[in-house]
Structure 1
Amino acid sequence: MSSQDDQHTATEEAVGAARPTAGRSRARGRRLLRILLSGLLVAGLAFYVGSFLRFAATVSGYQNNDAARADAIVVLTGGSERVKHALTLLQAGNAERLLISGVHPETTPKQIVSSTASDLSLFSCCVDLDRNANNTLENASETAKWARENDFSRLLVVTSAYHMPRALLELNSTMADFDLVPVPVQTADLVFDRWFEDPRTTLLLAREHLKYLLAWARIAVMETSAP
């Protein structure tokens, strides 16, 4: 056999030996990738479950703050019970002024009075209507503008208990220098202290928790990218 044939045979043997090694490296890389992805999935799931349990505990742990006092009250629309509760606090003297944020452009004070069984005279002296906000983010923006224009520093925040964490998150992102006092409105047909026994309450909390996480992520990105 010539030296040229010997070299050719040696090359083939080297290539043949390298192929299993390369195959094993690729297989090892795929296994590591699967392990990494599985780890990320488990970590993400653990974060979500832990975050949801903390969220549910926060909602169920809200205390009655009806005796709290402040410069003013803001109520975020989303149900007549919220507005009725805020008007009751105003009439009881818990604050001197009220902002109803997120009022439909065509809704009149008389219609609000009719749906809440409140006093129309309050609207001529002590109630402001925000008709610009269409969501919680815009509620926070309009509330911040109103509070600064009126030189308020302490606000009672009235909204449903399940909505309160996200409302405070949005408000604090634009009103970090304000004292915000949560006044949660409980919903009669929802069971927050034993939410895991009521599918309707569980589903509501899950939806609201997802909205909370999305708002938290948006605010975190904005704060990180801010100069």
Structure 2
Amino acid sequence: MATHTRRARVLRALRRLLLLAMLGGLAWLGGLFWFAASIPRTPPLPGSAEATRNTDAIVVLTGGSGRLSTGLELLADGRAHRLFVSGVYEGLEVQELLKRSRQFPGEMECCITLGYSADSTVGNAYETADWLRAQGFTSMRLVTANYHMMRSLLEFRMVIPEVEVVPHPVASPNVHLNDWWLWPGTANLLMTEYNKYIVTYARSLLASVIDSR
């Protein structure tokens, strides 16, 4: 009888764990679809308040196609007077950077600063914060991939809450957001980014609780 009772308790516990795992999986899956649907498909529309808003600086996070050329175009359009490129690999100088982006080296060379210390989004936020504070800037336009924007905004708001951040998402032609679940590469990218977003969001909640004490 005792053995039968213990076995029944174990089975009930396993059923509860299985139910919790299923509910957690459904919640994660629903969150993933929400995350994918929340990713902006296009940059700010020309003429909109976001597109024409001038800031003290433009900040580009390296690591994806189209980010640097977008940042240079925004600088040329006068959206800011300075451009900071965070997460540049060691050895890349401004003239080489401009050459790679098909810009004449003498035109904007003086207005660009490269940051070499960041190797993650957290590092990007801290590296950029140090530069912004050294310059006395209080606003910035953030240029990064559209799927990377939500997590980047969280990181930057945790590190430099006093700075106004205007998002400027860049869409990659290799990331297929429509029917993304049919594209294995895109699906894997979004799942990875979503998991990182969850961790970042949890960190931001914990930080806000600690700050409120």
TM-score, normalised by the number of residues in structure 2: 0.86
SS of the residue aligned with 1:192?
A: coil
2:150 is aligned, of 165, 177, 186, to 165
Match of 1:123 among 83, 100, 109: 109
Deviates more, 1:63-72 or 1:86-95: 63-72
CA contact (8 A) 1:66 1:89 kept: no
Matched residue type, 2:24: G
Q: Quick check: 1:160–1:187 contact (8 Å CA) kept in 2?
A: yes
Change (3 A) 1:202 1:60: farther
Partner of residue 133, structure 2? 148
Q: Percent identity?
A: 32
Aligned: 1:42 with 2:27 = no
Q: Which residue number in structure 2 is paired with residue 210 of structure 1?
A: 195
| 1:90 partnered with 2:75 | yes
Partner residue in 2 for 1:6:
none
Q: Cα 1:23–1:224, aligned 2, differ >3 Å: closer, same or farther?
A: farther
Q: Equivalent residues in 2 for 1:70-89 (5 A)?
A: 70-79=55-64, 81-89=66-74
Superposed CA deviations along residues 127-147 of structure 1, whole A, max 9, x for unmatched, are: 111111111110001111222
Please give the per-residue CA displacement for 1:60-102, whole angstroms capped at 9, x wherever unaligned. Answer: 4554254332121111011352111101101100112111001
Residue pair 1:71, 1:96 contacting (<8 A) in 2 also: yes
Q: Note if contact 2:42-2:170 (Cα within 8 Å) is conserved in structure 1.
A: no
Letter of the structure 2 residue corresponding to residue 94 of structure 1: R
Q: Which residue of 2 aligns with 1:28?
A: 8
2:47 is aligned to none
Aligned with residue 34 of structure 2, among 54, 59, 71: 54
Query: How far apart in 2 are the matches of 1:37 and 1:80?
Result: 43
Secondary structure in structure 2 of the residue aligned to 1:191:
coil
- The Cα of 1:194 is off from its aligned counterpart by 3.1
Kept after mapping to 2: 8 A contact 1:90/1:97: yes
1:196 Cα deviation from its structure 2 partner: 2.8
- Map of 1:180 onto structure 2: 165
Whether contact under 8 Å (1:71, 1:97) holds in the other structure is yes
Unaligned runs of 5+ in 1: 1-19
Which one-letter code corresponds to 1:88 in the other structure?
A: E
Q: Which stretch shows the higher mean deviation, 204-213 or 99-108?
A: 204-213
Segments of 5+ residues of structure 2 without an aligned counterpart are 45-49
Q: Deviations over 1:47-70 (max 9, x none)?
A: 211221111011145542543321
Displacement of 1:37 after TM fit?
0.6
Aligned to 1:155, the other structure's residue is in SS state: strand
| Count of aligned positions | 206
Q: In the alignment, what sits opposite 2:174?
A: 189
In 1, Cα distance between equivalents of 2:25 and 2:179: 22
CA contact (8 A) 1:156 1:181 kept: yes
- Deviation, 1:24, is 4.0
Question: When the two structures are superposed, what TM-score results if normalisation uses the length of structure 1?
Answer: 0.81
State the structure with more CA Rg. 1
Q: Which amino acid aligns with 1:56?
A: A
**Could you say if the C-alpha distance between residues 137 and 188 of structure 1 is closer, same or farther in structure 2, counting changes exceeding 3 Å?**
same
Do 1:102 and 1:139's aligned partners in 2 also have CA atoms closer than 8 Å? yes
